[in-house]
Chains A and B, each alone.
Chain A
Amino acid sequence: MAIMGAFTLYFLLPIFWLLVSSTKTLGNFNSTFSLWFTPTSITDMGNNLVNLFTYNEGVFPRWMLNSIVYATVAGGIGTILAAMCGYALSKYDFPGRELIFNTVLGGVLVPATALALPLFLIFSQVQLTNTFWAVFLPSLVSPFGVYLSRIYAASSVPDEIIEAARIDGSGEIRTFFTVAVRLMSPALVTIFLFQFVSIWNNFFLPLVMLRDQTLFPVTLGLYTWNSQVSQIPDIRTLVIVGALVSIVPLLVAFLSLQRFWRNGLGAGSLK
């Protein structure tokens, strides 16, 4: 219990610091105790938020929107692709299956940052750098998702059910979407969450690919601001408040999807 408490504190303290710091003016940030609020916290926080959303013609909400689009759309499509791929690798026997699977598995080991530069050179060839697609397309693939889908499909989608569906006249694609996806849903939620978080936190790929600020995800935008602090010190408060706001969608995604995740585990146990 004590250990759990210590760990909880360890993880929550930085977030608490972020919360407290975002309620301060720049002056108070430097001069007051950094882990507690000031008497003017509520109004200062309001001002900070207004400044954040209006600074530089409202570029911050644009970054948030970009991040949400990159993370939900690419994460969603990526999850479906991974599920189809993993299901196929698990349920169909075809030559080269293990080779494909092992290649994908190898992809899990390659860090995404190592691929950013080669991707940049490839995208340069087709003139797609500094576009929406430069960040969107590479975000669609998730080797780990394929791996997880295959493992989960093997254990949670019985061959007999697929057989029964075939006998009832269901096509393969219909079987996948109506039967397999439902059985695999806990794994799909997990894959989506992983994808969502990794796209949301993906920083290096956009750094290399993008130079148009209106395409930036929020991570890169905040990083850009942070590198301007020495010229315009007032930006520091915006970076802090922005960092706080930028974790809100992650919290929402986790808290709302956690429910499905638990449901899925429960459903599995009835079998």
Chain B
Amino acid sequence: MALKHLRVAAVATAAMLALAGCSASGSSDSSGSTASDCAPSTGKVDLSFTTWVPGMDKVVDIWNKANPDIQVTVSTVPNGNSGTYQNFFTQLKAGNAPDLGQVEYDTLPAFRVQDGLANIASCDGVEAAKADFSDGLWNQVTFGEDNSVYAIPQDSGPMALYYRKDLFEKNNIPIPTTWDEYAAAAVQIKALGGQITNFPKGDVNWFAGLVSQAGGQWFSTADGSWDVNLTSDVSTKVASYWQGLLDKQLVSTIPGFTDQWNNAYDTGADWTWVSAVWGANTISSGAPSTTGDWAVAPMPQWDASKPTSGAWGGSSSVVFKGSKHPAEASKFLLWLNTSTEALTALNTEANLFPASSTGASLPALSEGVPFYGDQKIYELFSDQAKVISPFTWGPTMTQTYSDVSDGFAAAIGGSGTLQDALSSGQSKTIAALKAQSIPVK
């Protein structure tokens, strides 16, 4: 009960903050793509690091013991969209932001347009770290600008298909490898009284992952101005595919990550979930009575000859503008996100799936997982991570998510379609960019 009140209060206050944020933000997409000097400081350096990765303090303890001259203090706070992003913006304004922070990929552009991130491209070892990451991920932290690096990728969320192996086998339904087969399987499953999956109206970032897998883009930048394209052909194709499943009532429409949703998987009402690597723990904790019945396969494809995957979630670590020690901060971030030592600890403490290719060789990630019938699911996810289609996020994703989500909810309620939701999201996003004086085509 108490938590429910908290959530209501949080929503109300977030809305208020959004208003406050709008009126106060006058900055624009500054052109400053030249990397500032990154000279090391002399003497002992103290860095503050704000994150919501559980157990981060234990990981940082390893660093602090080995580096007496660069001491990092960790603050563990609620996750970004639960208030921490707003706090970061406020702290940047007040000039007391921490040296280091956690920012998810889809929110990096929002910090970039507010000029809140330090460019660490000229810091020791940062450019060289490019080799540790896939081009798609590296592009997320450079925004495609030359001589610019604004974050170091931490974890990533390659997507794949979780499915009830036992049910598919028992009923002789082949595991779908294309979206056409997926829709055909949905019909068969419906005839058996189940539903192939769930369409969550609130998880718009999940939907963005599907669009990116299909090769679509929602945003692009050219000459310092944004192009918003939620209604591209590819995006519309994905929307009408899911609208088709909704029309035939082949998918359930339960809000994601609720008890009811857990229950649908636990009782076998829903058979598959197209989700990211971190979803592995969500299912195993939410549907404990199905232990051993699940398996993971690559996402169904649009074009089977060119397999691709999408990404859902994932975070990077940033150095905030105003930090006096960017050199030491980036040194720490490179250790945190590319060293085997730190990535192993992050994986143990917080189940993080490392973004760095160094992390793909962690012993913990090559073991079979009992919940998935001892399948080595993380090896599959590592392979999927290599074929993620790059995706560019917009500078006002919180607003885009909520507007598209409203449209999705309406479509599920029977008024309008998912395509309508995208076109209203399109016009509202353009309006939001204009309201913040961000240049838009």
Q: Which residues on A are within 8 Å of B, measured CB to CB?
A: 14-15, 17-18, 26-27, 30-31, 34, 113-114, 116-117, 120-121, 124, 127, 129-130, 201, 203-204, 207-208, 211-213, 219-220, 222-224, 226-228, 230-236, 239, 243, 246-247
Contacts and interface: CB of A to CB of B under 8 A. Distances in A.
Contact of A223 (B10, B20, B93, B282): B10
Contacts of A235: 54
B90 A208 contact: yes
A94 to B, nearest CB: 37
Given A117-B17, A129-B94, A233-B285, 8 more contacts: A30-B259, A30-B263, A207-B10, A211-B77, A228-B52, A230-B282, A231-B352, A232-B351
Nearest to B101: A211
A237 B416 CA distance: 39
Nearest to B17: A117
18 contacts: A18-B1, A27-B288, A120-B94, A121-B93, A124-B91, A130-B75, A203-B9, A203-B10, A207-B10, A207-B78, A213-B77, A226-B78, A228-B54, A230-B278, A232-B54, A232-B281, A233-B284, A246-B2
Interface stretch (B62-70, B79-87, B218-226, B426-434): B79-87
Contacts of A243: 1-3
Contacts of A228: 52, 54, 79
A207 B77 CA distance: 9
Contacts of B263: 30
Given A30-B287, A207-B78, A223-B78, A231 B5 contact: no
Residue among A18, A30, A113 having the largest count of chain B Cβ atoms under 10 Å = A30
Contacts of B191: none
Residue among B20, B75, B281 having the largest count of chain A Cβ atoms under 10 Å = B75
Interface in B274-330: 278, 281-282, 284-289
A210 B286 CA distance: 32
A116 B2 CA distance: 21
B198 interface: no
Interface string B36-71: 000000000000001011100000000000000000
6 A-B pairs closest in CB distance: A233-B285, A124-B94, A211-B75, A14-B1, A227-B79, A27-B288
A16 to B, nearest CB: 10
A227 B52 contact: yes
Interface in B307-362: 350-352
B13 A204 contact: yes
Nearest to B291: A27
B50 to A, nearest CB: 5
B98 interface: yes
A113 B289 contact: no
Nearest to B73: A212
A30 B6 contact: no
A222 B5 CA distance: 12
A211 B1 contact: no
Contact of A208 (B5, B87, B95, B282): B87
Contact of B286 (A201, A222, A231, A233): A233
B262 interface: yes
A239 B3 contact: yes
B285 A26 contact: yes
Contacts of A239: 3
B259 A224 contact: no
Contacts of B257: 230
B312 to A, nearest CB: 11
B96 interface: yes
Interface in B1-38: 1-6, 9-10, 12-13, 16-17, 20
A31 B436 CA distance: 47
Contacts of A211: 50, 75, 77, 87, 98
B266 interface: yes
Residue among A120, A129, A130, A204 having the largest count of chain B Cβ atoms under 10 Å = A204
B12 to A, nearest CB: 7
A121 B94 contact: yes
A255 to B, nearest CB: 18
A114 B16 contact: yes
A223 B53 CA distance: 14
Contacts of A130: 75
A59 to B, nearest CB: 9
B437 interface: no
Contact of A31 (B82, B98, B266, B282): B266
B398 interface: no
B20 A117 contact: yes
B83 A232 contact: no
Nearest to A236: B285
A124 B95 contact: yes
A219 B6 contact: yes
A212 B96 CA distance: 14
Contacts of B20: 117
Given A124-B96, A233-B282, A224 B2 contact: no
B240 interface: no
Contacts of A27: 288-289
Contacts of A129: 94, 96
Contacts of B75: 130, 211-213
Contacts of B262: 30
B76 interface: yes
B72 to A, nearest CB: 14
Contacts of A124: 91, 94-96
B13 A113 contact: yes
A234 B284 CA distance: 11
Contact of B6 (A121, A127, A208, A223): A223
Contacts of A220: 78
Contacts of A114: 16
A227 B2 contact: no
A15 B278 CA distance: 32
Contacts of B77: 211, 213, 224
